[in-house]
Chain A
Amino acid sequence: MSLHAQTIHELHKKLKKKEITATEITEDVFKRIESVEDKLHSYVHLCRDHALEAAKAADKIIQTKKDFSPLTGIPMGLKDIFLTKGRPTTCASRILEGYIPPYSATSASKLFEHNIVLTGKLNMDEFAMGSSTETSVYGPTRNPWNLDYIPGGSSGGSATAVAAGECIAALGTDTGGSIRQPASHCGIVGLKPTYGRVSRYGVIAFASSLDQVGPIAKDVTDCALILQAIAGWDPKDSTSLNLPVPDYNKALNPTIKGLKIGIPEEYFVEGMDPEVTHAVKTAIETYKKLGAHCEPVSLPHTEYAVATYYIIAPAEASSNLSRYDGVRYGYRNQQSKDLIETYKKTRTEGFGNEVKRRIMLGTYVLSAGYYDAYYLKAQKVRTLIRKDFEKAFKTFDVLITPCSPTPAFKIGEKTSDPLQMYLSDIFTINVNLAGLPGMVLPCGLSSKGLPIGLQIIGPHFGEEKILQAGFAFEQATDWHTKRPPL
């Protein structure tokens, strides 16, 4: 198997045995990028020379040290939402064109400390606002399983690159499903940790109370390895929690006999693709065979998730994006005669339509007279949603649901109706609202050859539980070994 198609843990074994070098892996990855990138358009910025230098440095460590991090010498891509010092970071927006940050995100710095090889910055929906990577100012990324289809969003570039072997693994962010849904649509594994588990410092903010950083990789083990490196308290992020980081490796245990799995009734709805329902139900049977106890559970406020999210997230985003005013960095319309015109033209020309839509939505729901009816109301419903999960986790260890009501749809299919696009997030959004950890892994392929994903939801700081449940499923199936026919 080519190096670019292997996992972190497989490559690490070989690096340790000195069977291969980091430079060889990197060169293979870049060869792969050269051959498929034109079709996929996963990257917005490639740094081949820097990557080869980093690979060389990693090789030195591998040669001289007996023990080194499993991430050493591994080519990884970062969603272009992570600030990388000295390297362009644009959030796939015109308003940050040419922006070179003076510092790196904490999570990225941690990976650099583990001597990864940065391959480049990956495409995304503009300011992470979207579920299809179609709102990027650079144009869409294509699903490697079928180039006419979306890869999911907003971390579409990350998911595509990992699935297609254009990097071994990647980091993405998840606000309403943006790691999990693209992982599902691309047939790989994506993990959104508990809110506060990983630092948000240096991650361009979309919705501050919902954003989380997480790994996108080929299997559960790889996700665990990446999570181990990036998790932990950051004094620069007031919302990161000062709790010890467990050894996630210990969770990679295939025995889940007695594991109590809840199957939320509200996640099997009318209008879902029957192939999705079938794939997920089959997966549940697999869990039963492995000795887990699977029972139905009710999360009665599920149907209010989208409405709640589309008040809270745009509200926070409208405020977070006010700093993009052309004064201190980024794009500025230089032809304006006064300040207000500068603001308006800069922001109008700099932001795409979906971003503008959400800014206006957010501005509206926070404006005088509407705060109680919308924002405050949504925060209260959020409490109800949170309580649903708390109740469920009194009885169950994890919950299993589909990730998306349908597999990937065609590029352009939902762009004219924003509301339809929002409704496709129905299964992932609640997890962000409650701040819980969630992981998606492949559990089937549709008749059109498009991947179907399974979502495992855990209680707060229950990453070990979901990793264990995911690992066990992988050991009993082979969906995670399938690669797109590119």
Chain B
Amino acid sequence: MTDFIPTIGLEVHAQLLTKTKLFCGCPTTFGKPPNDNTCPVCLGLPGALPVLNRQAVEFAIKAGLATHGRIAHKSVFARKNYFYPDLPKGYQISQYELPLILGGHVDIVTSKGHKKIGLERIHMEEDAGKSLHEHPETRATNATWVDLNRACVPLIEIVSKPDMESTEEAVIYLKTLRAILVYLEINDGNLEEGSLRCDANISVRPIHQKELGTRAELKNINSFKNIEKALTYEINRQITRIREGQKVIQETRLWNSEKNITESMRGKEEAHDYRYFPDPDLLPLIVDDEWINKIRGCLPELPAVKQTRFMNQYKLPEYDASLLIQSQSLADFFEACVRLYNEPKKISNWIMTELLRELKNRDIEIHQSKIDTKLFTKLLQIINQGTISTNAGKEVFSKMMESGEDPEKIVQDLGLAQVSDTDSLELLINEVLKNHPDEFERLKKGDGKLMGFFVGQIMKASKGKANPKLLNELIAKKLK
């Protein structure tokens, strides 16, 4: 399929981690009983009026600064009018002609290198409530049940330019953007629960054509895995259509995660005329430079900057650094470990292989695990000293994840201490050499492959506890 280029733009909606909703004082707490977090404003009762949450504006500005966008001194809230049961006022308060942030970009690193993904804009808007088409308890499907807890929760909508040209770029863009939002502590990055949502616009064109192809909009992609599958599927679907001489229709499609296909929403959705106009209940949002600079001064070290610093300060390769900065807490863990035990590459290796795998298997984040920096670095130190072998170390680590116990204690309990005492090793070596005189002769004559054979035999004899490094040294001595 390399004779076609895909063009992808992503629209990301991120719920802001404010305590209260965008235009009223209702809490934003997730998982409450239906309609617990409601009031006249977010219920759309007659006579209710919106008042803007300052913290939400600050969070939005943070997002704009972190993505190098231009913060508008004056922006306007507009009404987006349409009817749906979970839209209580019959309109959503959003921003249209004059959004809070224009432009900006997100730097990504893919297998092909660096790329800048441009942003069109970031604007603020309120979330809608939830329409349940199946009752969560009775499982009835003959009606729709409306819960307005989520109505009016603050969102920012981040609209990228159609700068992505592959599924890989799109996924990495999303991961990078997510990391930025989480670092800023304005969003919890939870794609599965819907606090971060992503819609995609995709088109394809023949490789030498300048004009973009007709695009389709993809909705309902709620995990990184699904994004990859959905985008890949859709790109192929469009290419196939064009190859078959058919046109790609401009439409909205939904990802069906059971059938693993995208399906047209045509017929279910009609063209909307949103009749945008400035909301007369709100005055213009004025943001001055003083406020912007104050916020700029409080921004944390962002992922891209941290990654570069890790590469320079700890002499880590780009790949390692990029994995470590995936989450703020992981990066902090790494640095705290280095402060205790100055072996950044070793620590990084262990984190990238063992720690991340264990965290994934247990489906937890670093701060939820039983490992702390002291225990972790202790383990690495005793492996480095040769007290236990690397393999044994892995076993100890696994146990530590479960019990949070001191590694030295685990080594003792499981009897994993490596045999590093030269005398006992000598005895073992001599024993094995005696039992395999022919092979020893061949080794002496230069058959290097037999080294592995002898190491293996001695390891077996020592029940895996021989210190392999020392072993190699001692055997090599015998060859002289």
A contacts B directly (C-beta below 8 A) = yes
- Residues of A at the B interface (CB closer than 8 Å) are 83, 89, 91, 96, 99, 101-103, 105, 200-205, 207-209, 235-239, 315-316, 318-319, 321-325, 327-329, 339, 343, 363, 366-368, 371, 375
The answer to whether B50 and A323 touch across the interface, beta carbons within 8 angstroms, is no
Given the complex of chains A and B, what is the CA–CA distance between A366 and B283 in angstroms?
19
Residue of B nearest to A210 (CB): B280
B474 at interface by CB-CB < 8 Å: no
Q: Cβ of B273: which chain A residues have Cβ within 8 Å of it?
A: 367-368
Given the complex of chains A and B, what is the CA–CA distance between A238 and B77 in angstroms?
13
Interface of A, secondary structure class, is loop
The answer to whether A205 and B277 touch across the interface, beta carbons within 8 angstroms, is no
The answer to whether A83 and B277 touch across the interface, beta carbons within 8 angstroms, is no
Given the complex of chains A and B, what is the CA–CA distance between A89 and B47 in angstroms?
11
Given A319-B91, A322-B90, are A238 and B282 neighbors across the interface (CB < 8 Å)? yes
B265 at interface by CB-CB < 8 Å: no
The answer to whether A323 and B49 touch across the interface, beta carbons within 8 angstroms, is no
The answer to whether A363 and B275 touch across the interface, beta carbons within 8 angstroms, is yes
B29 at interface by CB-CB < 8 Å: no
The answer to whether B51 and A236 touch across the interface, beta carbons within 8 angstroms, is yes
Which of A237, A315, A324 is in CB contact (< 8 Å) with B277?
Answer: A315
Which of B44, B46, B85, B282 is in CB contact (< 8 Å) with A99?
Answer: B46
Q: Cβ of B48: which chain A residues have Cβ within 8 Å of it?
A: 201-202
Given A238-B52, A363-B275, are A101 and B44 neighbors across the interface (CB < 8 Å)? no
Q: Cβ of B144: which chain A residues have Cβ within 8 Å of it?
A: 339
Q: How far is the CB of B473 from chain A (nearest CB, A)?
A: 78
A-B contact pairs, 5 of them (CB 8 A): A204-B47, A238-B281, A325-B90, A363-B275, A375-B277
Q: Cβ of A83: which chain B residues have Cβ within 8 Å of it?
A: 46-47
Which of A204, A315, A325, A367 is in CB contact (< 8 Å) with B83?
Answer: A325
Which of B51, B85, B277 is in CB contact (< 8 Å) with A371?
Answer: B277
Given A103-B40, A200-B49, A339-B85, are A323 and B90 neighbors across the interface (CB < 8 Å)? yes
Q: Cβ of B40: which chain A residues have Cβ within 8 Å of it?
A: 102-103
The answer to whether B280 and A209 touch across the interface, beta carbons within 8 angstroms, is yes
Given the complex of chains A and B, what is the CA–CA distance between A102 and B38 in angstroms?
12
Given A238-B51, A339-B85, A339-B144, are A323 and B281 neighbors across the interface (CB < 8 Å)? no
Q: How far is the CB of B34 from chain A (nearest CB, A)?
A: 13
Which of B44, B85, B275, B281 is in CB contact (< 8 Å) with A208?
Answer: B281
B178 at interface by CB-CB < 8 Å: no
Q: Cβ of A325: which chain B residues have Cβ within 8 Å of it?
A: 83, 85, 90
Given the complex of chains A and B, what is the CA–CA distance between A91 and B45 in angstroms?
13
Given A83-B47, A328-B43, A339-B144, are A238 and B283 neighbors across the interface (CB < 8 Å)? yes
Considering only residues 140-155 of chain B, those with a C-beta below 8 Å from chain A are 144, 146
Q: How far is the CB of A445 from chain B (nearest CB, A)?
A: 37
Which of A105, A238, A321, A371 is in CB contact (< 8 Å) with B47?
Answer: A105
The answer to whether B280 and A208 touch across the interface, beta carbons within 8 angstroms, is yes
The answer to whether B89 and A323 touch across the interface, beta carbons within 8 angstroms, is yes
B79 at interface by CB-CB < 8 Å: yes
The answer to whether B283 and A203 touch across the interface, beta carbons within 8 angstroms, is no
Residue of A nearest to B89 (CB): A323
Residue of B nearest to A196 (CB): B283
Q: Cβ of A238: which chain B residues have Cβ within 8 Å of it?
A: 49-52, 281-283
Q: Cβ of B195: which chain A residues have Cβ within 8 Å of it?
A: none
The answer to whether A343 and B46 touch across the interface, beta carbons within 8 angstroms, is no
Considering only residues 262-297 of chain B, those with a C-beta below 8 Å from chain A are 273, 275-277, 280-283
The answer to whether B47 and A101 touch across the interface, beta carbons within 8 angstroms, is yes
B55 at interface by CB-CB < 8 Å: no
The answer to whether A319 and B81 touch across the interface, beta carbons within 8 angstroms, is yes
Considering only residues 43-80 of chain B, those with a C-beta below 8 Å from chain A are 43-52, 79
Q: How far is the CB of B26 from chain A (nearest CB, A)?
A: 14
Given the complex of chains A and B, what is the CA–CA distance between A319 and B83 in angstroms?
11
The answer to whether A89 and B283 touch across the interface, beta carbons within 8 angstroms, is no
Residue of A nearest to B90 (CB): A322
Q: Cβ of B50: which chain A residues have Cβ within 8 Å of it?
A: 238
Given the complex of chains A and B, what is the CA–CA distance between A368 and B40 in angstroms?
31
B6 at interface by CB-CB < 8 Å: no
Interface of B, secondary structure class, is loop
Q: How far is the CB of B25 from chain A (nearest CB, A)?
A: 10
Given A238-B282, A325-B90, A327-B85, are A319 and B49 neighbors across the interface (CB < 8 Å)? no
- Residues of B at the A interface (CB closer than 8 Å) are 40, 43-52, 79, 81, 83, 85, 88-91, 144, 146, 273, 275-277, 280-283
Q: Cβ of A343: which chain B residues have Cβ within 8 Å of it?
A: 83
Q: How far is the CB of B480 from chain A (nearest CB, A)?
A: 89
Given A101-B47, A236-B49, A239-B283, are A322 and B83 neighbors across the interface (CB < 8 Å)? yes
Residue of B nearest to A96 (CB): B46
Of all A-B residue pairs in the complex, the 4 with the closest CB atoms, nearest first, are A322-B90, A208-B280, A366-B275, A209-B280
Q: Cβ of B51: which chain A residues have Cβ within 8 Å of it?
A: 235-238
Q: How far is the CB of B247 from chain A (nearest CB, A)?
A: 24
Given A102-B40, A343-B83, are A323 and B46 neighbors across the interface (CB < 8 Å)? yes
The answer to whether B44 and A328 touch across the interface, beta carbons within 8 angstroms, is yes
Q: Cβ of B52: which chain A residues have Cβ within 8 Å of it?
A: 238
Which of B43, B46, B88 is in CB contact (< 8 Å) with A204?
Answer: B46
Q: Cβ of A236: which chain B residues have Cβ within 8 Å of it?
A: 49, 51
Q: How far is the CB of A361 from chain B (nearest CB, A)?
A: 13
The answer to whether A319 and B46 touch across the interface, beta carbons within 8 angstroms, is no
The answer to whether B91 and A89 touch across the interface, beta carbons within 8 angstroms, is no
Q: How far is the CB of A209 from chain B (nearest CB, A)?
A: 4
Residue of A nearest to B275 (CB): A366
Residue of B nearest to A375 (CB): B277
The answer to whether B47 and A203 touch across the interface, beta carbons within 8 angstroms, is yes
Q: Cβ of B49: which chain A residues have Cβ within 8 Å of it?
A: 200-201, 236-239
Q: Cβ of B85: which chain A residues have Cβ within 8 Å of it?
A: 325, 327, 339
Given A238-B282, A239-B283, are A319 and B44 neighbors across the interface (CB < 8 Å)? no
Q: Cβ of B47: which chain A residues have Cβ within 8 Å of it?
A: 83, 101, 105, 201-205
Given the complex of chains A and B, what is the CA–CA distance between A323 and B47 in angstroms?
11
Which of B88, B276, B277 is in CB contact (< 8 Å) with A323?
Answer: B88
Residue of B nearest to A234 (CB): B49
Which of A105, A322, A327, A375 is in CB contact (< 8 Å) with B81?
Answer: A322
Q: Cβ of B83: which chain A residues have Cβ within 8 Å of it?
A: 322, 325, 343
Q: How far is the CB of A349 from chain B (nearest CB, A)?
A: 16
Given A200-B49, A201-B49, A327-B85, are A368 and B44 neighbors across the interface (CB < 8 Å)? no
Known: A238-B282, A238-B283, A371-B276. 5 other contacts (CB 8 A): A207-B280, A208-B281, A236-B51, A237-B49, A322-B81
Q: How far is the CB of B151 from chain A (nearest CB, A)?
A: 11
Given the complex of chains A and B, what is the CA–CA distance between A269 and B118 in angstroms?
59
Residue of A nearest to B79 (CB): A319
Q: Cβ of A318: which chain B residues have Cβ within 8 Å of it?
A: 275
Q: Cβ of A237: which chain B residues have Cβ within 8 Å of it?
A: 49, 51
Given the complex of chains A and B, what is the CA–CA distance between A434 and B315 in angstroms?
67
Given the complex of chains A and B, what is the CA–CA distance between A321 and B46 in angstroms?
9
Residue of B nearest to A90 (CB): B46
The answer to whether A91 and B46 touch across the interface, beta carbons within 8 angstroms, is yes
Q: How far is the CB of A202 from chain B (nearest CB, A)?
A: 4
Which of B146, B275, B283 is in CB contact (< 8 Å) with A319?
Answer: B275
Which of A91, A209, A239, A368 is in CB contact (< 8 Å) with B275?
Answer: A368
The answer to whether B282 and A319 touch across the interface, beta carbons within 8 angstroms, is no
Max chain A CB contacts within 10 Å: which of B79, B83, B88?
Answer: B83
Q: Cβ of B46: which chain A residues have Cβ within 8 Å of it?
A: 83, 89, 91, 96, 99, 101, 204-205, 323-324, 329
Q: How far is the CB of B244 from chain A (nearest CB, A)?
A: 34
Q: Cβ of A204: which chain B residues have Cβ within 8 Å of it?
A: 46-47
